[in-house]
C-alpha cells in the first residue's frame, strides 16, 4: 500500500510537466498577436512592441518556457497584465469561494445521487427507476448556463425566496478571517451572516451539482446492479438477512468503489463548471476570475489559474487512487 | 452595535432586498470588475464609471451633451492665438483627504501625466501602467507633447501654454482621464493609489471587494449638486442576462450592458424603465482600395444602394439603433443635418453594377497585383456597441447585396486576427466602427481620414478631405469648425469613401424608483443627481 502510494505519486511529475508545456503554449496557440489582442482597436505599432517586450514574447520560445518553468517552481505565477497584482496572491484569495461552492455541490451530488442510484437499482425498471434515469440523462445534458439563469429567475425573480448572486447581500458588514465565509461566520458566531451566506450558496450549488449528481446517480445504479447480481448477495439473501441489510451493508460497500473514482473525476468537472456557475451567479471565486481574464486577455491569470486547476485535478485523482487502494487491498502497482 | 447589525440583517432576510433596500443606497449593476481607480492610467468604461463619481476634472460635459461647462475651474480665458489657456479654480474645494484643491495641486497632476521623469509617472510606467490617453490627446510626453508649459500663476489660477492651438483642448480636459487626484494621496500610495482613490468628487471611496462590489459614500462637502443618496454600490455582475435578473429581482436599481433582445423585456415590465445614452458610436463598412473593383465609385455606390439599413436597424438593434447617413453620430456638433442618405434601391444598385461592367453581378475581386479571388465580406467576431449582433448584421447585409447581384462569402476571424488583418490592409471589405472619446468631431473623423493611404483604413486616400480636417483641427472657434466638419461629411459621402450603417444608443435599464439619472454620450455619468424613491 505504501509503495503503491509512492509510485503512484511519482507518476504525476511527467503529467505536471506536460501540463506546464500546454499552459505555457496557450499564449502561442491562440491565433493572433497576444499583444494586439490585449490592446484592441486602438493599438499603435509602438505600443504593440512595448507590450510584446513586457510579456517577453520577443525571446526564443524555448527560452521563454524555461524562464516560465523556473518561475512556477519558485511559486511565481507572474503578474496580472491588466491589474499588475501577483497572480498567486489573487488566486489564493479567490480559491476559498470556489472550494466552498464546489464542496457544497459535491455534497448535494452525493447526498441525492447515491440514494437515487440505489433506489433505481433495487427497483429496476420501476416508475422510480425510469424517472430517475430520464432525470439523470437530463441532468448530464443540461447546460449549466441555462439552468443557472432559470433557477435565478424562478427563485429570485418570481418567488423572491433566494438571492440571484454573490456570497452575501450588498453592504453586509463582515470581516472574514479565511475567506471561507460560511466557516468564518460559524467560527465568529455570526448567525445572521451564516444564514445569509447559506441562502446565497443554495442556487449556485444546485446548478453546479446537477451534472455530478446525475453522473453519480447513474454510476451508483450501474454499479449496484452489477453487485446485486453477484452470488454472495444471493447467499446473503438466502441466509434470510433483511433486504435493507443486504443492500446497505453487503452490496453498497462494494458498489461504491467505482463511484469513488467517478467522484474524483467529477472534481475536474466541478472546477470547469465553476467557471460558468460563478459567472452566472457573480460568485467571486476562481471561475469568475478566469472568465473575466479570458475576456480581458489577461494571459498571466489564465495561465496561472489553469495550471493551478490542473494541479488540483491531478492531486485529487491521486488521492482518490490511493484511497481506492486503501479500501480495496487487491489494488497494487504491477 | 451587534444587535443593530443583526436586526438589519434579519429584516433584509425577511423582506428581501427589493423592499427593504433603503432609498439611501443606489445599487448599480456594473459589467465587470474595474481595472483600478486611478483615472490617469485607466482606459475602460467599467473603471471610469466609478472614478467619475470620486473625482472631478477642470471642466465637464454638460448634462446629456458633449458641450463643455465649468467644473473645478469655474471660468477660463483663452488667448487670441488659441495657445494660452488660463483656468480660474473654484475656491474652498477640498480633496476627500482634507487637502485643499489649489493651483499647485492641479499643476502637480499635469506634471504627473506629462513628464516621464516625474516620480509618480515613472513608477507607474515601471509597474506596467501607461498614461495612454495623455499621449493620445496631447501628442506625447515631455517635449513631444503639444503642451509647452503649465504654471500656477496664483493660488487658484493655472495657465497652460500650448505649442500650437488645439481645437479639442477643452473637450479633452473633460475626459475622465484628466480628473484631478489628490497629490498627497498619490504620493502616499504610489502605484497602489488605484486601490485607494482620493479626489474631490461627489462620492468618497469606501471599499472595493474584489470581484464583488465597490462601495462609495456621499461627500457632504461637495461643491456641486449634493448627492441625493448616502451610498452608491457598484456590483460586478459579468453576465448581461444575469444582471437583468438581478434588476428584476430588485437586487440592483440600475444597470448597463443590456442584450438587444432584452430591451423589449424591460420595456414591457411595469417596474422598469429604459434610458438611452445619446449615440456616440457608428458602425461602418470599409472598402479596401487595393481592390481594383472598389476603386470604381459606381461599385461602391452599388453597395450603398443595395443595403437596407432601415431593416437592419429595426430588426437587429433592439429598438435602440439609428440609421447612419454619415460618420459622426447626431449627438456631435459637427453632424451634417442637411445630408441625405443613399436611397435603398436594389434596382439602382444593379444598374450601377451594369454600368461598371458587371452586368452578370459581382462575385470575384482583383487585387492590384493581379490576384483574383472570391469576394469575401468580413464580419466581426465580437459584439461592439455599434454592431451589437455582428454576425446577424453581416448576414443581413450579405443577403441585401445578393439581391443586387453582389455575391459575397461571409468570413470572420478571432478578434485579434481580425484587427491585425485590418491594420495590415488585408481585408477586401469589412465591418468595423468607432466610439468617440471626448465628443469632439476631430476625435471621431480625423483618426480615420487625416492620414491618407493608411493600410489600416484600407488605403483610402482623399487628400482634400484630410487637408480640410487638419485645418478644422487648428481652429478654436466651434462654429467655424462645425462648418468644416459638415463639409467633410459631404465630401466623404460624395466619394462614397465608406458606408456608414448605424448608430446605436446604448440602453440602460433602471427600476422605476430611480429618478434623475442623466445619460451622456461619452458615458461620463455622475450619480450625484440620482434619487431612489
Q: pLDDT tens digits for B320-377?
A: 999 999 999 998 889 999 999 999 999 999 999 999 999 999 999 999 999 999 999 9
Burial (CB count <10 Å: 0-12, 13-18, 19+), residue A12: middle
In a 3-state reduction of DSSP, which class is residue B28?
strand
CB distance A183 to A97 below 8 Å: no
What domain range includes position A21?
2-73
pLDDT at B14 over 60: no
- B-chain residues within 8 Å CB-CB of A295? 32
DSSP 8-state secondary structure symbol assigned to residue B384: B
What is the pLDDT confidence band of residue B480, given thresholds at 50, 70 and 90? very high
Query: Which among A94, A163, A171 has the least Cβ separation from residue B215?
Result: A171
Residue A100, min C-alpha distance to chain B (Å): 16
Cα dihedral sign, B505-B507-B508-B511: positive
Report pLDDT for B22: 45
A155 phi and psi angles, rounded to 5 deg: -85, -20
Residue in chain A closest to B424 (alpha carbons) equals A45
Report pLDDT for B377: 97
Query: Which among A41, A54, A148 has the least Cβ separation from residue B128?
Result: A54
- A281 and B242 within 8 Å at the Cβ level: the answer is yes
Q: Is residue A78 part of a domain?
A: no
Name the percent of chain A lying above pLDDT 70.
95
What is the pLDDT confidence band of residue A1, given thresholds at 50, 70 and 90? low
Burial (CB count <10 Å: 0-12, 13-18, 19+), residue A307: buried
Grid coordinates in use for B109? Answer: 497632476
Residue in chain B closest to A149 (alpha carbons) equals B242
Q: Are residues A69 and A102 in the same domain?
A: no
Q: Are residues A29 and A109 in the same domain?
A: no
Q: Are residues A193 and A51 in the same domain?
A: no
Calculate Rg over the CA atoms of chain A. Answer: 24
Longest CA pairwise span in chain B (Å): 85
Query: Which among A36, A165, A295 has the least Cβ separation from residue B420?
Result: A36
Burial (CB count <10 Å: 0-12, 13-18, 19+), residue B5: middle
Close Cβ partners of B481 (under 8 Å, ≥ 6 residues apart): B167, B334, B441, B472, B475
Report the alpha-carbon angle A189-A190-A191, nearest 5. Answer: 100
Residue in chain A closest to B32 (alpha carbons) equals A292
Q: How many whole angstroms separate alpha carbon B324 and alpha carbon B322? A: 6
Q: Are residues A148 and A294 in the same domain?
A: yes
Residue among A26, A28, A30, A32 with most chain B CBs within 10 A, to mutate? A32
- The better pLDDT of the pair B409, B261 is held by B409
Report pLDDT for A42: 59
Q: Are residues A217 and A117 in the same domain?
A: yes
- A-chain residues within 8 Å CB-CB of B16? 160
Query: Which among B5, B246, B419 has the least Cβ separation from residue A164?
Result: B246
Instruction: Write the pLDDT tens digit of every residue in A64-113.
Output: 888 888 988 898 888 887 777 889 998 998 999 999 999 999 999 999 99
- Nearest to residue B333, comparing CAs of B65, B9, B5? B65
Helices (H), chain A: 2-10, 12-29, 34-39, 45-55, 61-73, 87-122, 127-141, 144-151, 181-187, 191-228, 231-238, 243-245, 252-280, 286-295, 299-327
Residue among B31, B126, B206, B239 with most chain A CBs within 10 A, to mutate? B239
- B-chain residues within 8 Å CB-CB of A287? none
Torsion of CA B320, B388, B212, B42, to 10 degrees: -100
Q: Is residue A92 part of a domain?
A: yes
Cβ–Cβ contact A279 with B under 8 A: yes
The mean pLDDT value for A187-210 works out to 93
Instruction: Write the pLDDT tens digit of every residue in B251-287.
Output: 999 999 898 889 999 999 999 999 999 999 999 999 9
What is the pLDDT confidence band of residue B2, given thresholds at 50, 70 and 90? very low
CB distance B334 to B473 below 8 Å: no
Q: Is residue A256 part of a domain?
A: yes
Grid coordinates in use for B501? Answer: 450603417
- B231 and A31 within 8 Å at the Cβ level: the answer is no
DSSP 8-state secondary structure symbol assigned to residue A298: -
- Name the one residue in this structure whose C-alpha cell is 451508483: A220
The bridge status of strand B429-435 relative to strand B376-378 is parallel
Q: Would you tell me which residues 210-249 of chain A have a C-beta closer than 8 angstroms to some C-beta of chain B? A: none
- B251 and A164 within 8 Å at the Cβ level: the answer is yes
Residues of chain B with CATH 3.10.105.10: 281-504
Residue B134, min C-alpha distance to chain A (Å): 14
Q: Is residue A238 part of a domain?
A: yes
Instruction: Write the pLDDT tens digit of every residue in A99-152.
Output: 999 999 999 999 999 999 998 988 888 888 888 888 888 888 888 888 999 999
Burial B205-241 (b: 16+ CB within 10 A, else e): beebbbbbbbbbbbbeebbbeebbbebbbbbbbbbbb
- The better pLDDT of the pair B460, A332 is held by B460
- A-chain residues within 8 Å CB-CB of B423? 36, 43
- Structural domain tally of chain A? 2
Query: Which among A82, A172, A289 has the least Cβ separation from residue B9?
Result: A172
Cβ–Cβ contact A164 with B under 8 A: yes
CB distance B320 to B276 below 8 Å: yes
Query: Which among B6, B242, B432 has the least Cβ separation from residue A165?
Result: B242
Q: How many whole angstroms separate alpha carbon B45 and alpha carbon B42? A: 9
Residue B83, min C-alpha distance to chain A (Å): 28
- A-chain residues within 8 Å CB-CB of B137? none
Q: Are residues A291 and A145 in the same domain?
A: yes
Residue among B419, B438, B455 with most chain A CBs within 10 A, to mutate? B419
Q: Are residues A121 and A221 in the same domain?
A: yes
Residue in chain A closest to B384 (alpha carbons) equals A41
Residue B519, min C-alpha distance to chain A (Å): 25
Name the percent of chain B lying above pLDDT 90.
74
Q: Is residue A186 part of a domain?
A: yes
Residue among A169, A296, A299 with most chain B CBs within 10 A, to mutate? A169
- B9 and A289 within 8 Å at the Cβ level: the answer is no
Cβ–Cβ contact A149 with B under 8 A: yes
Q: How many inter-chain contacts (A to B, CB under 8 Å) are there?
A: 137
Q: Are residues A270 and A318 in the same domain?
A: yes
Mean pLDDT taken over chain B: 91
- B-chain residues within 8 Å CB-CB of A289? 211
Q: How many whole angstroms separate alpha carbon B254 and alpha carbon B511? A: 6
Report pLDDT for B426: 92
- A292 and B33 within 8 Å at the Cβ level: the answer is yes
ipTM at complex level: 0.81
- B35-191 in CATH: which number? 3.90.76.10
A40-49, A285-294, B107-116: least confident range: A40-49
Cβ–Cβ contact A170 with B under 8 A: yes
Domain boundary among A73, A98, A127: A73
Q: Which of A168-177, B72-81, B407-416 has the highest mean pLDDT?
A: B72-81
Residues of chain B with CATH 3.90.76.10: 35-191
Q: Is residue A105 part of a domain?
A: yes
Residue among A79, A171, A284 with most chain B CBs within 10 A, to mutate? A171
Q: Are residues A166 and A224 in the same domain?
A: yes
- B13 and A199 within 8 Å at the Cβ level: the answer is yes
Q: Which of A34-43, A204-213, B120-129 has the highest mean pLDDT?
A: A204-213
What is the pLDDT confidence band of residue B105, given thresholds at 50, 70 and 90? very high
**Superfamily of structural domain B281-504:** Dipeptide-binding Protein; Domain 3 (3.10.105.10)
CB distance A271 to A309 below 8 Å: yes
The bridge status of strand B281-287 relative to strand B498-504 is antiparallel
- A156 and B251 within 8 Å at the Cβ level: the answer is yes
Residue B248, min C-alpha distance to chain A (Å): 6
Domain boundary among A73, A102, A122: A73
- B-chain residues within 8 Å CB-CB of A282? 211-212, 235-239, 242, 246
Name the percent of chain A lying above pLDDT 90.
24
Q: Is residue A185 part of a domain?
A: yes
Q: Which of B6-10, B315-319, B492-496 has the highest mean pLDDT?
A: B492-496
pLDDT at B510 over 90: yes
- B127 and A41 within 8 Å at the Cβ level: the answer is no
CATH number of the domain within which A232 lies: 1.10.3720.10
- B205-278+507-532 in CATH: which number? 3.40.190.10
Amino acid at each position: 500500500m505504501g509503495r503503491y502510494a509512492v509510485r503512484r505519486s511519482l507518476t504525476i511529475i511527467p503529467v505536471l510537466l506536460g501540463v506546464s508545456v500546454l499552459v505555457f503554449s496557450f499564449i502561442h496557440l491562440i491565433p493572433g498577436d497576444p499583444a494586439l489582442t490585449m490592446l484592441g482597436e486602438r493599438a499603435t505599432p509602438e505600443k504593440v512592441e512595448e507590450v510584446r517586450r513586457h510579456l517577453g514574447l520577443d525571446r526564443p520560445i524555448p527560452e521563454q518556457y524555461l524562464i516560465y518553468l523556473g518561475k512556477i517552481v519558485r511559486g511565481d505565477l507572474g503578474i496580472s497584465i491588466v491589474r499588475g497584482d501577483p497572480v498567486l496572491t489573487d488566486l489564493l484569495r479567490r480559491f476559498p469561494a470556489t472550494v466552498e461552492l464546489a464542496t457544497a455541490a459535491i455534497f448535494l451530488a452525493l447526498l441525492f445521487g447515491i440514494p437515487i442510484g440505489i433506489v433505481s437499482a433495487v427497483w429496476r425498471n420501476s416508475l422510480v427507476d425510469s424517472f430517475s434515469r430520464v432525470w439523470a440523462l437530463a441532468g448530464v445534458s443540461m447546460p449549466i448556463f441555462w439552468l443557472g439563469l432559470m433557477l435565478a429567475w424562478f427563485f429570485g425573480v418570481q418567488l423572491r425566496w433566494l438571492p440571484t448572486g454573490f456570497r452575501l447581500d450588498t453592504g453586509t458588514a463582515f470581516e472574514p478571517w479565511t475567506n471561507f465565509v460560511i466557516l468564518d461566520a460559524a467560527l465568529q458566531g455570526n448567525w445572521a451572516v451564516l444564514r445569509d451566506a447559506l441562502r446565497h450558496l443554495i442556487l449556485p450549488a444546485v446548478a453546479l451539482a446537477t451534472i455530478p449528481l446525475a453522473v453519480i446517480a447513474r454510476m451508483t445504479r450501474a454499479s449496484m446492479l452489477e453487485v446485486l447480481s453477484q452470488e454472495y448477495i444471493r447467499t446473503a439473501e438466502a441466509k434470510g438477512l433483511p433486504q435493507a441489510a443486504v443492500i446497505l451493508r453487503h452490496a453498497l460497500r462494494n458498489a461504491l468503489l467505482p463511484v469513488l473514482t467517478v467522484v474524483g473525476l467529477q472534481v475536474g468537472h466541478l472546477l470547469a463548471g465553476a467557471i460558468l456557475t460563478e459567472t452566472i451567479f457573480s460568485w467571486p471565486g476562481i471561475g469568475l476570475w478566469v472568465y473575466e481574464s479570458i475576456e480581458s486577455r489577461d494571459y498571466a491569470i489564465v495561465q496561472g489559474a489553469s495550471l493551478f486547476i490542473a494541479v488540483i485535478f491531478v492531486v485529487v485523482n491521486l488521492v482518490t487512487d490511493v484511497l481506492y487502494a486503501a479500501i480495496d487491498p487487491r489494488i497494487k502497482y504491477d | 452595535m451587534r444587535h443593530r447589525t443583526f436586526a438589519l440583517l434579519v429584516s433584509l432576510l425577511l423582506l428581501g432586498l427589493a423592499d427593504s433596500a433603503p432609498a439611501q443606497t443606489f445599487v448599480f449593476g456594473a459589467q465587470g470588475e474595474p481595472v483600478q481607480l486611478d483615472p490617469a492610467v485607466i482606459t475602460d468604461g467599467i473603471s471610469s464609471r466609478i472614478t467619475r463619481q470620486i473625482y472631478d476634472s477642470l471642466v465637464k460635459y454638460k448634462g446629456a451633451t458633449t458641450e463643455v461647462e465649468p467644473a473645478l475651474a469655474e471660468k477660463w480665458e483663452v488667448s487670441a492665438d488659441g495657445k494660452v489657456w488660463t483656468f480660474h479654480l473654484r475656491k474652498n474645494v477640498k480633496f476627500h483627504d482634507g487637502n485643499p484643491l489649489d493651483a499647485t495641486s492641479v499643476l502637480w497632476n499635469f506634471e504627473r501625466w506629462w513628464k516621464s521623469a516625474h516620480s509618480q509617472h515613472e513608477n507607474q510606467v515601471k509597474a506596467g501602467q501607461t498614461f495612454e490617453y495623455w499621449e493620445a490627446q496631447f501628442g506625447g510626453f515631455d517635449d513631444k507633447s503639444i503642451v509647452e508649459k503649465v504654471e500656477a500663476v496664483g493660488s487658484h489660477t493655472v495657465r497652460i501654454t500650448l505649442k500650437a492651438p488645439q481645437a479639442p483642448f477643452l473637450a479633452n480636459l473633460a475626459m475622465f482621464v484628466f480628473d484631478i487626484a489628490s497629490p498627497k494621496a498619490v504620493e502616499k500610495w504610489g502605484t497602489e493609489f488605484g486601490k485607494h482613490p482620493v479626489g474631490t468628487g461627489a462620492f468618497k471611496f469606501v471599499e472595493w471587494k474584489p470581484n464583488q462590489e465597490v462601495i462609495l459614500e456621499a461627500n457632504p462637502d461637495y461643491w456641486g449638486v449634493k448627492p441625493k443618496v448616502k451610498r452608491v454600490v457598484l456590483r460586478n455582475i459579468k453576465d448581461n442576462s444575469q444582471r437583468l435578473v438581478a434588476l428584476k429581482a430588485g437586487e440592483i436599481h440600475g444597470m448597463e450592458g443590456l442584450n438587444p433582445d432584452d430591451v423589449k423585456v424591460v420595456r414591457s415590465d411595469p417596474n422598469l424603465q429604459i434610458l438611452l445614452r445619446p449615440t456616440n458610436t457608428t458602425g461602418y463598412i470599409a472598402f479596401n482600395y487595393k481592390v481594383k473593383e472598389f476603386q470604381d465609385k459606381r461599385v461602391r455606390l452599388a453597395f450603398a444602394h443595395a443595403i437596407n439599413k432601415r431593416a437592419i436597424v429595426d430588426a437587429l438593434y433592439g429598438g435602440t439603433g439609428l440609421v447612419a447617413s454619415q460618420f459622426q453620430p447626431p449627438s456631435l456638433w459637427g453632424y451634417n443635418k442637411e445630408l441625405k442618405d443613399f436611397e435603398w434601391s436594389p434596382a439602382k444598385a444593379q444598374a450601377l453594377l451594369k454600368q461598371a461592367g458587371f452586368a452578370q453581378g459581382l462575385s470575384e475581386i482583383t487585387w492590384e497585383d493581379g490576384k483574383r479571388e472570391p469576394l469575401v465580406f468580413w464580419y466581426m467576431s465580437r459584439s461592439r456597441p455599434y454592431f451589437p449582433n455582428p454576425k446577424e448584421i453581416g448576414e443581413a447585409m450579405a443577403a441585401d447585396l445578393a439581391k443586387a447581384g453582389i455575391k459575397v462569402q461571409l468570413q470572420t476571424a478571432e478578434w485579434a486576427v481580425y484587427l491585425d488583418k485590418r491594420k495590415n490592409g488585408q481585408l477586401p471589405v469589412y465591418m468595423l466602427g468607432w466610439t468617440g472619446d471626448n465628443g469632439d468631431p476631430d476625435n471621431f473623423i480625423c483618426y480615420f481620414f487625416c492620414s491618407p493611404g493608411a493600410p489600416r483604413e484600407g488605403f483610402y486616400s482623399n487628400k482634400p478631405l484630410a487637408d480640410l480636417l487638419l485645418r478644422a483641427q487648428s481652429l478654436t472657434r466651434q462654429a467655424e469648425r462645425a462648418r468644416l466638419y459638415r463639409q467633410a461629411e459631404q465630401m466623404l459621402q460624395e466619394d462614397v469613401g465608406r458606408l456608414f450603417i448605424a448608430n446605436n444608443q446604448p440602453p440602460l435599464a433602471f427600476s422605476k424608483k430611480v429618478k434623475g439619472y442623466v445619460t451622456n454620450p461619452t458615458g461620463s455619468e455622475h450619480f450625484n443627481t440620482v434619487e431612489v424613491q
